[in-house]
């Protein structure tokens, strides 16, 4: 078993709150693994509307997102970063396909691989790598939008029982394999955290405007033991006020 698959298996022994919703599909991937190939394990575990292939399948000079759009194949390395990317394809296939379609269209519109990335492609990458999806009472969203951390995590602490927060960015999952207080997600508020609803929320104009709300994820009540001591939120280097 590759170090990526072994690391995921170890994390699933006592899943962190952010990993727990993905534990069933992650265990299916591990159970399906018959070799050291992350791509093979993902292919054997489920159907995400794509096929996972080795990184060498990506032709020189062809953008990664364009290749996926053209072939419905996802180049996959044997590391945690790409393993978590595959888990998101299996968990949110419509959202991942929507992100890929917008990305591929943007690449074509800007003249291919040699063209400038632009704000839309930057936002798509940020979403794919570091987003967290939030369905929450309006008071929580407003407190997050204003970076009113005391209201968000202390005064409105009970409101988190009515919220649903799902991590999406595969780089974010990778970082949280070694949790550190400053790790920040780019939160994307939605009406519902279903795959259909998230995919529908991905309007290019909203993405290009970078309608993200940065949030230190270990501040979420119940996600990290240290935040039971409310002095946890006094760290101004992490819980920064709006400019």
Using CA atoms, how far residue 21 sits from 3, 29, 87, 164, in Å, is 22, 14, 11, 11
Whether pTM exceeds 0.85: yes
Phi, psi of 189 (to 5 degrees): -70, 140
The CA distance from 46 to 89, in Å, is: 10
pLDDT value of position 23: 97
pLDDT value of position 112: 65
Asked whether the predicted pLDDT for residue 70 surpasses 60, the reply is: yes
Report the 3 state secondary structure along the chain: CCHHHHHHHHHCCCCCCCCHHHHHHHHHHHHHCCCCCHHHHHHHHCCCCCEEEEHHHCCCCCCHHHHHHHHCEEEECCCHHHHHHHHHHHHCHHHHHHHHHHHHHHHHHCCHHHCCCHHHHHHHHHHHHHEEEEECCHHHHHHHHCCCHHHHHHHCHHHHHHCEEEECCHHHHHHCCCCCCCCEEEEEECCCCCHHHHHHCCCHHHHHCCCCEEEEHHHCCCCCHHHHCHHHHHCCCCCCCCC
In percent, the amount of the chain with pLDDT more than 70 equals 97
Q: What's the mean pLDDT in 126-153?
A: 97
Q: Tell me which residue has tokens 């699933």.
A: 12
* Pair 127, 99: CB distance under 8 Å: yes
Q: What is the pLDDT of residues 10-22, one digit of tens each?
A: 999 999 999 999 9
The CA distance from 95 to 224, in Å, is: 28
pLDDT value of position 241: 84
Residue 135 pairs in a beta bridge with 164
* Pair 129, 171: CB distance under 8 Å: yes
Q: What is the pLDDT of residues 85-132, one digit of tens each?
A: 999 999 999 999 999 999 999 998 876 665 667 899 999 999 999 999
pLDDT value of position 109: 83
pLDDT value of position 46: 79
Long-range contacts at 126-129 (CB < 8 A, ≥ 24 apart): 126/186, 126/210, 126/212, 127/99, 127/168, 127/169, 127/186, 127/188, 127/202, 127/207, 127/212, 128/99, 128/168, 128/169, 128/170, 129/169, 129/170, 129/171, 129/172
């Amino acid at each position: 078993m590759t170090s990526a698959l072994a690391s995921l298996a170890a994390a699933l022994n006592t899943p962190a709150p952010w990993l727990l919703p993905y534990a069933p599909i992650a265990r299916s991937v591990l159970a399906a693994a018959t070799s050291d190939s992350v791509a093979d394990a993902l292919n054997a575990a489920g159907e995400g509307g794509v096929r996972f292939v080795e990184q060498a399948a990506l032709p020189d000079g062809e953008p990664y997102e364009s290749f996926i759009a053209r072939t419905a194949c996802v180049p996959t390395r044997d590391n945690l970063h790409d393993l978590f990317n595959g888990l998101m394809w299996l968990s949110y296939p419509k959202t991942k396909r929507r992100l890929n379609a917008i990305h591929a269209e943007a690449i074509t519109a800007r003249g291919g691989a040699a063209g400038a990335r632009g704000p839309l492609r930057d936002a798509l990458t940020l979403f794919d790598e570091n987003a967290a999806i939030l369905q929450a009472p309006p008071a929580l969203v407003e407190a997050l939008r204003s970076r009113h951390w005391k209201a968000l995590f202390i005064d409105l602490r009970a409101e988190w029982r009515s919220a649903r927060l799902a991590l999406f960015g595969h780089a974010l999952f990778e970082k949280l394999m070694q949790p550190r207080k400053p790790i920040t997600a780019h939160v994307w508020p939605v009406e519902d955290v279903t795959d259909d609803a998230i995919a529908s929320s991905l309007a290019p104009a909203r993405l290009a405007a970078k309608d993200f709300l940065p949030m230190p994820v270990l501040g979420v009540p119940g996600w990290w033991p240290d935040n039971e001591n409310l002095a946890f939120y006094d760290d101004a280097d992490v819980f920064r006020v709006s400019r």
